[in-house]
Amino acid sequence: MATLGLIGSGHIGSTLARLAVDAGLDVVLSNSREPQTLSDLVDELGPRARAATPAQAAAAGDWVVVTIPVCAVGTVPREPLVGKTVIDTGNYWAPRDGTIPELETQELTDSEVLQRHLVEAHVVKAFNNINYRHLRALPRRVDAADRTTLPIAGNDPDAKKHAAELLSLLGYDHVDMGPLTESWRSQVGNPAFCMPYALTKNDQYLNQPAAPASAAEISVALASARR
């Protein structure tokens, strides 16, 4: 059975772990502390889940999700990720991450910063534009009329295809934003960030009940993004 490795097990990471177990995948979770700090979550997830170090999660995963603050990408282990599809859920936020000059000047996107760190891996941006409550609520089977679409971006076509396979297993369709240089389109402050998945599109969208979003809706939101 395929395995999802998680470097970071906060709101998004733990939600992806639940979706993966629901889909019949094995899950290896990690965080910045010791594996035993994840024992309650592992117990909740059941026998398909185990806790490990970030390096062990990276080595175990057929896909590896990096879901940590952008300021911490330098801690992601390189060697176990060589040749792997690495899914980046990050969103740069200076009050938390500190000022990162190449992100402030828009010389790079935050996923390009991770790709620069993981030179021999294949980074794909995904799961960054949806609130974890909505992510948990919206999975649908492949043939469902109300299946929700998430955007992805990446430089390697095979890695994007691989990431899209994971999205589909977890209950989501995808739309391709293009290379990592375009990943900003799905980030904070743009129309594709969180709002399409809220039942009512207002300033309190993070707390709104989940609403499916089609490929057409997400494509329009991405096209209208401004830096």
Give the residue numbers spanning the domain of 192: 3-223
Backbone φ and ψ for 94, nearest 5 degrees, come out as -55, -40
Instruction: Say what the pLDDT of residue 207 is.
Output: 75
**Beta strand pairing status for 26-30 and 85-88?**
unpaired
**What pLDDT shows up at residue 206?**
67
| pLDDT in 10s for each residue of the chain, 227 residues | 799 999 999 999 999 999 999 999 999 999 999 999 999 999 999 999 999 999 999 999 999 999 999 999 999 999 999 999 999 999 999 999 999 999 999 999 999 999 999 999 999 999 999 999 999 999 999 999 999 999 999 999 999 999 999 999 999 999 999 999 999 999 999 999 999 999 876 656 667 789 999 999 999 999 999 98
Element (H, E) at 66: strand 63-66
How many domains in the chain? 1
In the numeric block, the tokens 């097990």 are attached to 9
| Dist CA 47 CA 26 (whole Å) | 9
Kindly report the number of other CB atoms within 10 A of residue 176's CB atom: 16
pLDDT recorded at residue 83:
98
Question: Which of 85, 98, 171, 88 lies closest to 129, judged by CA?
Answer: 88
* Residue 132: CATH number of its domain: 3.40.50.720
Copy the structure tokens of residue 155. Answer: 């430089």
Q: What is residue 217's predicted lDDT score, i.e. its pLDDT?
A: 97
Residue-level pLDDT at 203: 59
Residue 202's pLDDT is what?
65
Q: Which helix (H) or strand (E) holds 97?
A: helix 94-97
- 49 φ, ψ (degrees, to nearest 5): -115, 145
Pairing of strands 149-154, 122-125: antiparallel
The residue behind tokens 């995904």 is 126
**Where does 125-225 have alpha helices with state H?**
132-137, 157-170, 215-223
For residue 139, the SS3 value is: coil
Output the pLDDT for position 209. 87
Tokens 């390009």, located at residue: 112
Strands 173-176 and 26-30: unpaired
Here the tokens at position 129 are 């534009």
